[in-house]
Chains A and B, each alone.
Chain A
Amino acid sequence: MFLTDHKLPLGQVISDFVDWLIMNFSGFFDTISDVLSTIISSTTAALLWFNPLALAVIFVALVYIIQRSISLTLFAAAALLLILNLGYWQETIETLSQVIFATLVCIVIGVPLGIVAAHKRWFYEVLRPILDLMQTVPTFVYLIPTLTLFGLGVVPGLISTVIFAIAAPIRLTCLGIQDVPEELMDAGKAFGCSRWQLLTRIELPHAMPSIGAGITQCIMLSLSMVVIAALVGADGLGKPVVNALNTADIALGFEAGLAIVLLAILLDRVCKQPTARGEK
């Protein structure tokens, strides 16, 4: 049949494109890969330099300072001690630094893109399908090219995580800024704000709760990627899960899974906006 005989070479085109990238820019990708993995591994090393108990105390203190909640602080202490007890401290710290780093990258790229999207209609229109694509294309599909470009290890995991998680801060930053009441903007203009001042004095403060929600979501999405990151060689809590899957080890899988869940709950609660900000 004609239709099936003349297959469109879509897959081949993408594959050739990736090959071309490797041929011409492998140095560039290697540098990125080296820089990123150095940053992450040194962050991990720095955190692991501390005595685990001392670090746990610092974390618990931070939780209290940020949220001022006794019950949450107690929960944090219990969760960290349990992780220590189960013997997943190093993996947890590795995952934590990956998540933090991925989130930072998402914020640094995502928030400015969100700001531009909120102001430029056409940019938003272009961006929206791309964001939809990034969130819906199965992770494994772009894991393969990132793997070939950046090699095994933590970097392809990080890139995949960023691709998957960056939509949240972009969308919510954009939403938060579009949501600024017209009257507040008028007030800003009437009192002589420049465009930059309008952004920093009115739009960003108003969008802050929304941006905060975006960042929290971003952290959660990054955490959900740890197992997939482990598949391409990233260290962390994903690794024992993958091992457990390969060896059908129920005990190992459960413990590592529990550690991920505890870390997720902890990060979520800590990042949540304090509710009593006096806003309606």
Chain B
Amino acid sequence: MSAIRFENVDVIFGKQSKQALELLDKGLGRAEIFKQTGQVLGVENACLEIQKGEICVLMGLSGSGKSSLLRCINGLNTVSRGRLLIEHNGTEVDIANCSSSTLKDMRTSRISMVFQKFALMPWLTVHENVGFGLEMQGRSATERKKIIDEKLELVGLSQWRNSRPSALSGGMQQRVGLARALAMDGDILLMDEPFSALDPLIRQQLQDELLALQSKVNKTIVFVSHDLDEALKLGTNIAIMKDGRIIQHGKPEDIVLNPADEYVRTFVAHTNPLNVLCGYSLMKPLDQCKREGHDVCLDRARDYWLSLGDGHSIKAVRRSGDTLGVQRWVPGEPVETLKRQPTVVDAAIRMRDALEIRYQTGHKLILQQDGRVVGLLGDTELYHALLGKNLEKGHEESEVTPLRAAFSQAG
């Protein structure tokens, strides 16, 4: 059972949603519906499943309906039509049609939220702010204190417990917001552009902290963002929205490699692929490489070959008749200590690491999976990925010969 499931959810802002829904069914668009009824179509026919423990990023420009959709999950927005099911004690609760006491229950025990502008109470201290939701849960003062201290420790703000939010920087305020949400101990965390109001350095820092936290607490997080880089960095899955519709839902790599339409493509064109793409999607697969028997050509001009043994294992790497040593790199190892020789890496290698290793060693990377060579990763592939051309595979190697020459000369 998925943690959160949207089934054909429409959200209309306004009092006579019925009228607007009729127009929507007739196939009219947002602008037309607004003109005829004065109702704003927030979300149209959203279907989305979010699994337990994943970070699902709702991505889109402002007005795309991403926040509207998020706010349905805890009932801040009302679902006009459709079902919004949330797993609760083994059954599914339909937030779109539940009693107000169920909704209150879900809000106090299951779903907590982090806001774009922090939404801390300025008249309460940091510690009282974190305890706000706990009071709503009706916890005793000693219990509250224990949880508050624990969460403040978690976000590193213990020494600020008696300050007022206005004494804190934006990043710290958002940490308080996060601590307040975590204190509720619900397993669904809604984050409505939580880092958008922060400056870029702090934003990245908090993104890293969120990822580190998530590996500890393992919540189901629904995260709204207008920044694709942020979405790609954080998201287990990304749903891209436009004009109230979800136009693509998939893994970050899928989005980058196979944009559903021109809109997504423009987004993707401006992202940094370094953190997103991995060896699989970058490499030239073995079956596309030039081969002579068991030898795979690494560089014909320099007589550079990879000999494969049984089951595509590595037998040797030869250049102009000499056998070169082969080294192995696993994630987490320092790249600086690698020697200038061919390197074998796992095919799931991140692009950033691949680029660094290529620069450090001056040789193509040999990608392996379960002991089998699956592909090669060289300049062509890396440059194409950087330029956003990785969608068009199978370019001739010779295209980047001058650059490659520059690389090898530098080595």
Which of A's residues lie within 8 Å of B, judged by CB? 181, 183-184, 186-187, 189-194, 197, 201-202, 205-206, 208, 277-280
Number of interface residues of B (CB under 8 A): 31
Instruction: Identify which of residues 94-133 in chain B touch chain A, using a CB-to-CB cut-off of 8 Å.
Output: 104-105, 107-108, 111-113, 115-117, 119-124, 132-133
Is A191 touching B136 in the complex (CB atoms < 8 A)? yes
Shortest C-beta distance, A275 to chain B (Å), equals 13
Shortest C-beta distance, A115 to chain B (Å), equals 18
Which of B's residues lie within 8 Å of A, judged by CB? 71, 74-76, 104-105, 107-108, 111-113, 115-117, 119-124, 132-133, 135-137, 164, 166-167, 180, 184, 190
Q: How far is the CA of A197 from the CA of B108 in the complex (A)?
A: 13
Is B104 touching A192 in the complex (CB atoms < 8 A)? yes
What 5 A-B pairs have minimum CB-CB distances, sorted nearest first? A192-B108, A278-B164, A187-B119, A191-B133, A192-B107
Given known pairs A183-B115, A197-B136, A202-B121, the reply for A190 and B107 (CB within 8 Å) is yes
Is A189 touching B107 in the complex (CB atoms < 8 A)? yes
Is B76 touching A193 in the complex (CB atoms < 8 A)? no
Shortest C-beta distance, A61 to chain B (Å), equals 27
Given known pairs A191-B107, A191-B136, A192-B107, the reply for A186 and B166 (CB within 8 Å) is no
Is A205 touching B121 in the complex (CB atoms < 8 A)? yes
Q: Which residue of B lies closest to A195 (CB)?
A: B100
Partner of A205, one of B105, B112, B123, B184: B123
Q: How far is the CA of A200 from the CA of B132 in the complex (A)?
A: 13
Is B136 touching A193 in the complex (CB atoms < 8 A)? yes
- Besides A187-B132, A279-B122, 19 other A-B contacts (C-beta < 8 A): A183-B115, A183-B116, A186-B113, A187-B113, A187-B119, A190-B107, A190-B113, A190-B190, A191-B107, A191-B132, A192-B104, A192-B108, A192-B133, A193-B136, A205-B124, A206-B121, A278-B122, A279-B166, A280-B166
Shortest C-beta distance, B80 to chain A (Å), equals 19
Partner of B119, one of A184, A193, A201, A279: A184
Shortest C-beta distance, B157 to chain A (Å), equals 16
Q: How far is the CA of A202 from the CA of B121 in the complex (A)?
A: 8
Q: Which residue of B lies closest to A202 (CB)?
A: B121
Is A189 touching B76 in the complex (CB atoms < 8 A)? yes
Hey, which chain A residues are within 8 Å of B76, CB to CB? 186, 189-190
Is A183 touching B123 in the complex (CB atoms < 8 A)? no
Hey, which chain B residues are within 8 Å of A202, CB to CB? 121
Shortest C-beta distance, B68 to chain A (Å), equals 13
Q: Which residue of A lies closest to B163 (CB)?
A: A278
Q: Which residue of B lies closest to A189 (CB)?
A: B76
CB pairs A–B below 8 angstroms (8 shown): A181-B119, A190-B190, A191-B180, A192-B137, A194-B104, A202-B121, A205-B121, A279-B123
Given known pairs A278-B166, A278-B167, the reply for A191 and B108 (CB within 8 Å) is yes
Hey, which chain A residues are within 8 Å of B122, CB to CB? 206, 278-280
Hey, which chain A residues are within 8 Å of B184, CB to CB? 191
Is A277 touching B107 in the complex (CB atoms < 8 A)? no
Given known pairs A192-B107, A205-B121, A278-B166, the reply for A186 and B132 (CB within 8 Å) is no
